[in-house]
Amino acid sequence: MSKAPAFPRAEQIEASLELLAERCEDPTPLVYARLFERLPEMRAYFWRDSNDAIKGEMLARTFAAILDFIGERRYAGHMIGTEMVTHEGYDVPREIFTTFFKVIAETTEVVLGSDWSSDFATAWREMLAEIDRYAAAVPRTDVVSPAFDSIKAQMQERYGAGGQSATT
């Protein structure tokens, strides 16, 4: 007997994404138009993406992560955590990182129109809340602790801001 899906309303999420795939050959332009409407400052982060390949890849990987997250959950929990930290390296704060899932939910709702059922709405709302809980559990890398602050000050005192040893 196959294992029960990790997310109890997985069927509704899958059904809504299947309808999205039927109705919209490539949702990439719709998803990013909505993202940049909500967060115009994020557009500049994709400066390297001259042919939308990165945006497409990012969306495809996020859909795959959603399907794993609701189903077998073999890697999605870990991937969401590591990607969130990677994105902090791009200066994308984690509070913004998780909004991408919401933007996908909203785009799906718009494309499905009257076929966006209350079951779909409940399933997406609960899944987004679960992803937020996951994200909140990932240790922060962007917070400088007071302890780290004093170590940094000592190191700078000893080695100077450029890191050159005062003794050499």
| 20 vs 58, beta carbon nearer ligand HEM | 58
Query: Does residue 17 contact residue 108 with C-beta atoms inside 8 Å?
Result: yes
| 73 vs 159, beta carbon nearer ligand HEM | 73
Query: Does residue 16 contact residue 10 with C-beta atoms inside 8 Å?
Result: no
48 lies in the binding site for ligand HEM (CB under 6 A): yes
62 lies in the binding site for ligand HEM (CB under 6 A): yes
Query: Does residue 83 contact residue 97 with C-beta atoms inside 8 Å?
Result: yes
Choosing from 92, 105, 112, 123, the residue that interacts with ligand HEM (CB under 6 A) is: 92
Choosing from 9, 34, 45, 102, the residue that interacts with ligand HEM (CB under 6 A) is: 45
20 lies in the binding site for ligand HEM (CB under 6 A): no
**Candidates 3-11, 22-30, 56-64, 146-154 — which segment interacts with ligand HEM by CB under 6 A?**
56-64
**Candidates 23-31, 50-58, 114-122, 135-143 — which segment interacts with ligand HEM by CB under 6 A?**
50-58
- In SS3 terms, 16-78 reads as HHHHHHHHCCCCHHHHHHHHHHHCHHHHHHHCCCCCCHHHHHHHHHHHHHHHHHHCCCCCHHH
Choosing from 42, 85, 128, 135, the residue that interacts with ligand HEM (CB under 6 A) is: 42
**What b-and-e string marks burial along 9-42, b requiring 16 or more CB atoms within 10 Å of the CB?**
bbebbbebbebbeeebeebbebbbebbeeeeeee
Q: Total residues at the site for ligand HEM (CB under 6 A)?
A: 20
Query: Does residue 121 contact residue 102 with C-beta atoms inside 8 Å?
Result: no
65 lies in the binding site for ligand HEM (CB under 6 A): yes
Enumerate binding residues for ligand HEM (CB under 6 A).
35, 42, 45-46, 48, 54, 57-58, 61-62, 65, 80, 83, 87, 90, 92, 96-97, 99-100
